[in-house]
Structure 1
């Protein structure tokens, strides 16, 4: 009977031992699964962190590219406006070039017409000087000869030639409204004297010898010099001083030839 109790006790102890061993194994199994779960969670968190970093990096790249895109768009807009302005300027320049080309063609035609015109103007001026009151003959004839020589020069433009011809005409026009005194040689009674000439416009041209004894007036009708009386000596002397700006302008009495060239 006692042995049976001992046997039962042994059996109970063995069962308890087996139960404890099974519990211990169950606990170890749970710990292993928990560890795996924790490790898996760490891996997921790490992967999520890495993914977030990649997302952040991609976002930064996208923002950078977006900013570059906006900047490029602004530059494109500015270049579009600039290109429109340049196109308008180029179109205007093309129009101006066309007009210049047409003007150059017209200039060539005008040049062919102006050269003969200038030659005729110079010949007319020479004829006028030959028929005019004979004051400053050398200066005026030299001016005409220089104009004739200038027409054959290739280094002078047509515009400059025409300007000089007009300038010579202007000089002749000015002679008609100015007073002038100059010196020269004059044939008086078969003698060549050094005299003072007085020109008042084209209405009066007189001379006076240096000693004041000989005086004469150009008569345009007879194309000759006529002697003057001594009564004009004072006025002529005064007029010479006025012409040389030695006296203030004043009223003077001088002989005027009738039918003088104007």
Structure 2
């Protein structure tokens, strides 16, 4: 059996240890480099994954917006179709309105003429007020800034005023030629049946005679009843029976 030199053996062991330590260091360094590279790679992967997730979320959001826009556009299409239908209907109505306006203007003129004739033949109460109303209607018909509907409304309103005269009682003060002298008198209108007056001093009374188209004098016995009727018309007395001469209008 050969003997090994202890010094040689120690040297060999030291060399082996040095070689193993160097290899181990290299392995550790390479492992660290691999880990560092893996971490960088993982970071990139995480970044890409986050980016993809964000893009996916945006994609889903955009899809929802597109779906909403599709629904909105479909609704707009319906509204536009309805509006087009309404426009067609309005155009047709405008054509009809033009025809009606051409027909209604002569009708209104005839109505005003008829009302003027009626007032001329009627009991002559409130002559100034009624004449002014008719004059305003005539002037209105020549105005371009008043619509046909408004003109027609005012003509009907004038007719309604005349109708109301026939079922109301009214008292008013005006000037009247009495026995060749212009005097202030109180008038009493009872519908269209009677138009009476009494002078302010209560000395003379009269009644409109539709047949002769003039006022005729009344007896003094009627004066108190006329005054009573005037007070009733002015709501100074409660409604009560009156005894008055009546000249019924035709």
Indicate the SS of the match to 2:197: strand
Alpha-carbon distance in 2 for matches of 1:42, 1:181: 120
Indicate the SS of the match to 1:222: coil
1:186 aligned residue:
176
- Shift of residue 194, structure 1, vs aligned partner: 2.3
Alpha-carbon distance in 2 for matches of 1:156, 1:214: 47
2:138 aligned residue:
148
Alpha-carbon distance in 1 for matches of 2:8, 2:130: 153
* Larger displacement relative to structure 2 (94-103 or 194-203): 94-103
Alpha-carbon distance in 1 for matches of 2:9, 2:50: 61
TM-score of the pair, normalised by structure 2? 0.86
Alpha-carbon distance in 1 for matches of 2:244, 2:71: 78
- Shift of residue 173, structure 1, vs aligned partner: 0.7
- Shift of residue 163, structure 1, vs aligned partner: 1.7
Say how many residue pairs are matched. Answer: 249
Aligned pair partner of 1:56 in 46, 50, 66: 46
Does 1:214 pair with 2:204? Answer: yes
Does 1:120 pair with 2:120? Answer: no
Alpha-carbon distance in 2 for matches of 1:35, 1:176: 128
Alpha-carbon distance in 1 for matches of 2:62, 2:27: 51
* Larger displacement relative to structure 2 (237-246 or 119-128): 237-246
List alignment gaps of at least 5 residues for structure 1: 1-8
1:89 aligned residue:
79
2:167 aligned residue:
177
1:227 aligned residue:
217
Alpha-carbon distance in 1 for matches of 2:19, 2:200: 153
TM-score of the pair, normalised by structure 1? 0.82
Does 1:67 pair with 2:57? Answer: yes
Query: Are the aligned partners of 1:151 and 1:161 in contact in 2 as well (CA < 8 Å)?
Result: yes
Instruction: Give the aligned CA root-mean-square deviation in angstroms.
Output: 2.7
Q: Deviations along 1:4-63, whole A, 9 cap, x unmatched? A: xxxxx9xx88x9998987777666655554444433333322222221111111111122
Alpha-carbon distance in 2 for matches of 1:247, 1:16: 157
- Shift of residue 82, structure 1, vs aligned partner: 3.1
Indicate the SS of the match to 1:255: coil
List alignment gaps of at least 5 residues for structure 2: none
- Shift of residue 187, structure 1, vs aligned partner: 2.9
Q: Considering only CA atoms, is the larger Rg found in Structure 1 or Structure 2? A: 1
